[in-house]
Amino acid sequence: MCQHMPGTERKALIWGTDLYGYIPQRPPIVMVDSYYGKDDVSSFTGYTPVSGSLFCDRGFFLEAGIIEHMAQSVAVSAGIEYKSRGEAVPLGFIGAVSKLSLHFRVPVGKKLFTAITEAGKFEGVSLVTARVMCEDRLVAEGELKVFILGNPK
């Protein structure tokens, strides 16, 4: 897994509504607001939870929001990969979440930085690891099994 996580010194390559071209989600369910690129093993995304979000309560980003952010980080990475090959962005869904560790609750307004690393892929199923940071502190980490449904026609 990549040890370097992007920080505020790194500029987003894609952000805001431009990310909609790479994911099927739309407001109020969008939980990724920036894409920072990739290195040899990982891709990097970010999100700043906002007050009033479905996944925020009493000033904190809920655990379900962290998991959804992880999944959408996978979707952004896959969408960018497919588009780079000239293919349509596929639909997918989480089949399983495992080895999930949540270390602390993130206050609304604090930026998340996430590394997604593909551990394996077989016939439309990807196993990925996700590592979510906030201000150089580990927020969460875990594995997601993601099923790709194929390209929409």
Q: Which of 88, 108, 97, 99 is nearest to 70 (CA)?
A: 97
- Determine, yes or no, domain membership for 3: no
Range of the domain at 19: 14-150
CATH number of the domain that residue 23 is part of: 3.10.129.10
| Residue 95, domain member (yes or no) | yes
Whether residue 115 is contained in a domain is answered as yes
Question: Is a pLDDT exceeding 60 seen at residue 2?
Answer: no
Q: According to the model, what pLDDT value does residue 8 have?
A: 46
- What is the C-alpha separation between 113 and 33, in angstroms, rounded? 10
* Residue 58 covered by a domain: yes
Query: Which pLDDT belongs to residue 144?
Result: 97
The residue-averaged pLDDT of 33-59 equals 96
Q: Of the given ranges (25-29, 41-45, 97-101, 120-124), which has the lowest mean pLDDT?
A: 120-124
Instruction: For 3-32, write each residue's pLDDT tens digit.
Output: 445 454 579 999 999 999 999 899 999 999
* In a domain? residue 2: no
What DSSP character marks residue 68? H
Would residue 26 count as lying in a domain?
Answer: yes
* Number of domains forming the structure of the chain: 1
Structural domain includes residue 46: yes
Residue 8 lies in a domain: no
Q: What is the mean pLDDT of the chain?
A: 91
Looking at residue 21, what DSSP letter applies?
G
pLDDT in tens, 134-153: 999 999 999 999 998 865 44
